[in-house]
Structure 1
Amino acid sequence: MPPVAVLDIVEINHDGEGIAAPVEDRLDHNARILVVPDRRRGKAFGKGERVLAKLTLVGPDEYEARIIRKLDRHRPVMFGLVISARNGFMLEPVERNARSPLDLLPPEDKIPFADGDLIEAEVLRSSGYANKKARVTRNLGPADQPGAYSALAVAEYGIRHAFPEEALIEADKAKKPVLGEREDLRDLKLVTIDGADARDFDDAVCAEPLPGGGFRVVVAIADVAHYVAEDSALDREAIQRGNSVYLPDRVIPMLPEVLSNGLCSLVPGEERACLAVEMMIDANGHKTKHRFMRGLMLSHARLTYDAVEEFRLGHDTDPPAGLEASVINTMLDAYECLAASRRERGALELDLPEKRVRFDDDGKAVAIDRKRQTISQKLIEEFMILANVSAAETLESNNRLCVFRAHEPPAPEKVDALHLLARSMELSFPKGQVIRPRHFNTLLQAAQKKDDPAGFALLNETVLRSQSQADYRITNPGHFGLALLQYAHFTSPIRRYADLMVHRQIIALLENRDPDTDTVKAAETATSISETERQAAAAERRTIDRFAASLMQHRIGQMVEGKINTITSFGAFVEIDHSGVEGLLPLGRLPQDYYEADAVEGIIKGRQSGLTLRTGDSITIMIEDVSPLKAMVGLTYVDDGKPVERGASHGGRPGRRGASGRNRPSARKGAGKGAGKG
């Protein structure tokens, strides 16, 4: 083997090392090549990536590779469904824009497969797409088995789901905490408030009134750093995972369940090690001081959002879990102060419903629910934000490394597009000046007062699309959406590695010691966990979309009412019959005409007929075709009670495009478990 070669990473072992193969055919493909992570510089890599690496011979036909740089080209991997063909099997790709099926090489004894299986395949080189063949590299099981959609997403997005034995052994050795030098918080009326289906409880809260006004708020978080030592097997695996992944029917935890659902879960009646912060706020919701402490706590009750909400609304006059009414009422009063402070600083207010798949008792998907935040969820969100701000302030003021949750202002070109849209709606939106979150709030409030539901829907969608994506950094640009100068994630170390990094820095500060901090590695880790977060969110969205499409399979051929959610350059995404399920209405399935689609102004217009479709419009469509694995529902326009014949439209010019003209925007920014948790 040459001293430097281009490699494809074909597997990641339990130690986080890569197994690689040379790209060039002339090189020895029987040699074992181990890609070693650069712990000092934190160079992360994933399965399917192509890298330029330095090779060192370490044994007979065994090489150690160290990455010089990553390359843009990836190994040609494809996921799909095995279908029977006349002369064998073919692969039906699950990618939405994939073309015709590919021929599959015959099954091998090592990896057998059959009609209806979901597989991962390597696309072999050929002179053209029509001649392409694929070799099965992994069988994910039958497509109709329970959990198939989640298994497919795990494979597609390279999500680690099996813990190495060494990490499991470390987790099993964890012991219940003792008081020792910890602060005794067991008498505090700390409670957890989570969703009814939550399994891990990483935060507990309480509030007490202060003489003269204001409140003492305490947020206690599981002391994960007590159990996960730096550079241990548990730590190395947690870095690679970056976060827990919450799919509709499956949770893939960042830490083994003996910790995430056990010793690090603040279950009621059990003593737990915690890292807590005590915060004082005045009657206006302004924090006046705070203090961190390592403690031993006891959760006095496990509450649900629904139960707290029922009590708040007076539907249930008895406090949940037998608590005194004052415990909940005081927290609600403290929330009102914090909510007033939030309004005062002008944080962005986007009331975005969360999509959830509803299952029956047999685990079958039966509906898509769209849930909006309740006051009980907002209460927890504001308490968590307050704790997160305290963590960032503490580390930055003491010149300690902090992993900030960064959210940049919108890009200028997106602000300009929003200005044009606002002007077309006879609304005012500033241009050429510093944009603040309150400017978006004012714009949406003004639009809501107009008697134009379609226009408001378009504006709300455009404001959402204009926002930057949050990420993790060791430098601090502030958090635009929350209108905060200092912000970090502190409150969920069970499921986010960024929080664990922040915990370790705070603990070192409390112990008056300097942590062994490598800023280069910390920066690389922040970049890596930002990417794993994006992958987890994408996997969740894709899986929800697949379940959603599956709900429409029995409705093919039905004519239904729909509401246009988004206009793109190639058609419109339409919510079907208030179901929470979206389908695509392409330009080619509109009545025959030439169409101009304007994603900025959210409008499709036929040149000759004058047929006009806008974001927010209600229309009649027919469900034409459904492919759950592709997460696709195809729609056809219904004109005068009859569906348009396929192919009747000539299509049309895309016209002006918005900031994401070729891509469907995400319907939400967060991911399931994180809602309301800051």
Structure 2
Amino acid sequence: MQTLEDKIIGLLSRRKKRSLTRRELAERLDLHGRERKLLSKALERLNSNGTLQERRGGYRLLPQQQRTLEGLFSLADKGYGFLRLDEEQKEDLFIPARYVGSAMEGDRVQVSCHVSPRDRRHYAKVLKVVQRAHKRMIGFYQQRGKGAEVWPLNKKLGGQILVSRSNNVNPGEIVEVEISQYAHGDIPARGEIVEVIGAANNPQVDIETVIRSHDLPHRFSDAALAQAEIATTSITPEEIVERVDLRHLPLVTIDGETAKDFDDAVALQTQADGSWKLWVAIADVSHYVTPQSPLDIDAIERGTSVYFPGFCLPMLPAALSNGICSLNPDEERLVMTAELLFSADGTRLESNFYPAVIRSHARLTYTQVSVCLQNPAQSDLDIDLIPQLQQMVELATALGQKRQLRGSLDLDLPEVEVVLDSDGAPIDLVKTERTMAHRLIEEFMLAANEAVADYLTEKGWNFLYRIHEEPDLLKLQELQQLAAQCGVGLVLGKKLQTSLQQLLIDIADKPEARLISQQLLRSLQQACYSPVNSGHFGLATDCYCHFTSPIRRYPDLVVHRILKLALSEQPQSASLTMSQLTKLGLDCSTKERRAMQAERDLVNLRCCQVISKRLGEEFSGTISSVTEFGFFVELDGIYVEGLVHLRTLQDDYYHFDSTTMTLVGEHRRNEFRVGMPVKVKVAKVELWRRRIDFSLLENANSRG
């Protein structure tokens, strides 16, 4: 039976001289009712895959040799690939294995588009690689005869790379190879070993591998290191002449146990009229890192620090990030301060900003503060600090309530923490949750960021906003469907933030709460940096920026520089132009995503390494998503996800229902759906793919 697309191609192939409009096509194909409604989608697909050309409302069939497209190549495990088109709404184009050529995962390629004469299916052939994604690769070194080869760690990057045999490399070690000749057909790639990274079972080698796989800058220039060393370990009297002296304030830092770069310190005082005065002191990185200096150039290249389990790849050299810029206890430090006055209910009444000098009175951890707040009598903290911490909770609570009233979304998702041994190897996975200690610092940083953004906006300065646009309606409809399956309603109307906030309240006590919260997070747009203010949807604020972490985020450093110009009443011409800020915002947003992907990659590897030692063990879990090829299960308590593949379900023949997102057995009618509790056994772990396979225990789907 011919499809509608086949009919369109057949009609136009008989009319090569003239194009036909949508109406003419409908009339000549004698389309009625629902078929007419499907015509537009069919034409869009044919146009996107290069079969048709649309011009002035008319459609014509393109000659075979003209049907070419460009996009990113993605390689599947079995050797075939797909062309991911630049326009996200267009479908990927299938590339049979025999037509992949020398293309590798991530390459930008040009393809020719074809239609199979047998089944009329569309496919593509790689004509050429426009831009290579990989000039270097990480892999295992193996000796072969008189020569040697390197097998990429990521199997999506193809087969072996032939290299010269080396006496300086042991078989099985991880090396980095520079490719001199790419593979084509049966001819393997060739390259040269540029660095021996180390043994495959070394945890530090894992980190190096992820760093290089994501092209993260990992070496500072000699000029940047020299500039960092010039910065003294203590500040001089000349540096504090015109600064506000806050060394008397009981400022404290509150961070994680392993943190070494302390960006922020806080202090709070209750005023006679019941109002609150909050000081948020932020490391004055801009004092040491000047525009276009070697340190600045390296910081721009990184864009952000990258935090791996047990290891940090910093944006600035350690002499700054852990030294003179870090607000270490009992040491004088230069800061930019936001002094904020709040009413008793958390309304900001005043804000002042100025450069200052401080001396942090204590380096506190989230655990210490949490224990203190729960049971002050059992706390080992300085007794003079305890009343201030208790008052901080009161203000943080008021600020949180104000945010909630305006529609701010609080996605308080527990995460998995990788426990490492003394060598940095993963040994366990534990659940972490935010405590009041985390929340009070979060509230104070949000308040300072918002206050700075308001100030610079009122003064008319151009700077980098942190923006978060409204979510895509289609993704919200998927969330709505999932919520409905879990017995919770979601109204997608004008008051969207209020509806989403209510959803979080409604699911709070349900077993599916984490899954729905995760889907909500995926439904939201990704926040980014831009000089054009479009508000922050997630925080429900019209004006927001990043100011509080200049040690580890470049946009914060830029905001500090602009704030200093504004405070010193410099002309706005002294700052960056809108064009420069636009380019910088895009660059910082891209590098932020790169860092997040690298962090996620190593965490997933560590999780797989822990689970690989538990093959055959049984776990309870929850179905987190269902697809046509199986369903994913998230293990309870440690939030590690794995796949139960459809082919392992032997008790029945299962069909995927895309409407309800369920797998339903043809005979027994057993059902697998999101949120369903199951018991699974660890069947297989593939470290290179960061993939865990589970097998379902026999009695696990008894609720179907």
SS at match of 1:453: coil
Among candidates 167, 191, 196, match of residue 135 of structure 1: 191
Residue of structure 2 in register with 1:4 after alignment: none
Residue of structure 1 in register with 2:496 after alignment: 436
How do 1:301-340 residues align onto structure 2 when only pairs under 5 Å count? 301-314=362-375, 316-318=377-379, 320-340=381-401
Bigger mean CA deviation after superposition, 544-553 or 629-638: 629-638
- CA distance 1:390–1:206, change in 2 (3 Å): same
Letter in 2 for 1:358: V
TM-superposed deviation, 1:640: 5.4
Q: Distance in 1 between matches of 2:638 and 2:410?
A: 25
SS at match of 1:74: coil
Among candidates 105, 112, 116, match of residue 162 of structure 2: 105
TM-superposed deviation, 1:123: 8.4
TM-superposed deviation, 1:204: 0.3
Among candidates 621, 645, 668, match of residue 586 of structure 1: 645
How do 1:19-58 residues align onto structure 2 when only pairs under 5 Å count? none
Residue of structure 2 in register with 1:446 after alignment: 506
Q: Percent identity?
A: 32
Given the alignment of the two structures, is residue 375 of structure 1 paired with residue 433 of structure 2, yes or no? no
SS at match of 1:524: helix
TM-superposed deviation, 1:457: 4.5
Q: What's the TM-score, normalizing by structure 2? A: 0.76
Among candidates 176, 196, 221, match of residue 164 of structure 1: 221
Could you tell me whether the CA contact under 8 Å between 1:120 and 1:140 is conserved in 2? no
Letter in 1 for 2:472: A
Could you tell me whether the CA contact under 8 Å between 2:430 and 2:637 is conserved in 1? no
Alignment gaps of 5+ in structure 2: 1-105, 110-128
Bigger mean CA deviation after superposition, 242-251 or 559-568: 559-568
Given the alignment of the two structures, is residue 510 of structure 1 paired with residue 586 of structure 2, yes or no? no
**More contact order relative to length (CA 8 Å, sep ≥ 6):** 1
TM-superposed deviation, 1:595: 3.0
SS at match of 2:437: helix
Q: Distance in 1 between matches of 2:447 and 2:608?
A: 39
Q: What's the TM-score, normalizing by structure 1? A: 0.78
Residue of structure 2 in register with 1:605 after alignment: 664
Among candidates 532, 542, 549, match of residue 475 of structure 1: 532
**1:35-68 Cα deviation digits (max 9, x unpaired):** xxxxxxxxxxxxx9989xxxxxxxxxxxxxxxxx
SS at match of 1:487: coil
Alignment gaps of 5+ in structure 1: 1-47, 52-69, 643-678
Could you tell me whether the CA contact under 8 Å between 2:274 and 2:344 is conserved in 1? yes
Could you tell me whether the CA contact under 8 Å between 1:409 and 1:435 is conserved in 2? no
Among candidates 234, 243, 246, match of residue 295 of structure 2: 234
Q: Distance in 2 between matches of 1:85 and 1:636?
A: 37
**1:591-647 Cα deviation digits (max 9, x unpaired):** 2644334577553223333232222323232322222233222222233599xxxxx
SS at match of 1:498: helix
**1:342-401 Cα deviation digits (max 9, x unpaired):** 222121021111322111234331112221110011000000000000111111111111
How do 1:91-240 residues align onto structure 2 when only pairs under 5 Å count? 91-95=150-154, 98=156, 102-108=159-165, 112=169, 114-120=171-177, 122=179, 124-128=181-185, 131-138=187-194, 139-175=196-232, 176-177=234-235, 178=237, 179-240=240-301
Q: Distance in 2 between matches of 1:233 and 1:598?
A: 57
Residue of structure 2 in register with 1:292 after alignment: 353
Q: Distance in 2 between matches of 1:530 and 1:170?
A: 27
Q: Distance in 1 between matches of 2:700 and 2:653?
A: 22
Could you tell me whether the CA contact under 8 Å between 1:591 and 1:639 is conserved in 2? no
SS at match of 1:552: helix
Could you tell me whether the CA contact under 8 Å between 1:457 and 1:615 is conserved in 2? no
Residue of structure 2 in register with 1:3 after alignment: none
Could you tell me whether the CA contact under 8 Å between 2:173 and 2:197 is conserved in 1? no
Residue of structure 2 in register with 1:389 after alignment: 450
TM-superposed deviation, 1:275: 0.2
How do 1:250-649 residues align onto structure 2 when only pairs under 5 Å count? 250-314=311-375, 316-318=377-379, 320-431=381-492, 433-448=493-508, 453-454=511-512, 456-514=513-571, 515-576=574-635, 578-591=637-650, 593-597=652-656, 601-639=660-698
Letter in 1 for 2:500: F
Q: Distance in 2 between matches of 1:592 and 1:93?
A: 38
Q: Distance in 2 between matches of 1:169 and 1:468?
A: 41
SS at match of 2:613: helix
Given the alignment of the two structures, is residue 81 of structure 1 paired with residue 140 of structure 2, yes or no? yes
Letter in 2 for 1:482: L
Q: Distance in 2 between matches of 1:397 and 1:378?
A: 28
RMSD: 2.8
Could you tell me whether the CA contact under 8 Å between 1:417 and 1:600 is conserved in 2? no
Could you tell me whether the CA contact under 8 Å between 1:319 and 1:325 is conserved in 2? no
TM-superposed deviation, 1:453: 2.2
- CA distance 1:114–1:641, change in 2 (3 Å): same
TM-superposed deviation, 1:122: 3.3
TM-superposed deviation, 1:115: 2.2
Q: Distance in 2 between matches of 1:612 and 1:439?
A: 30
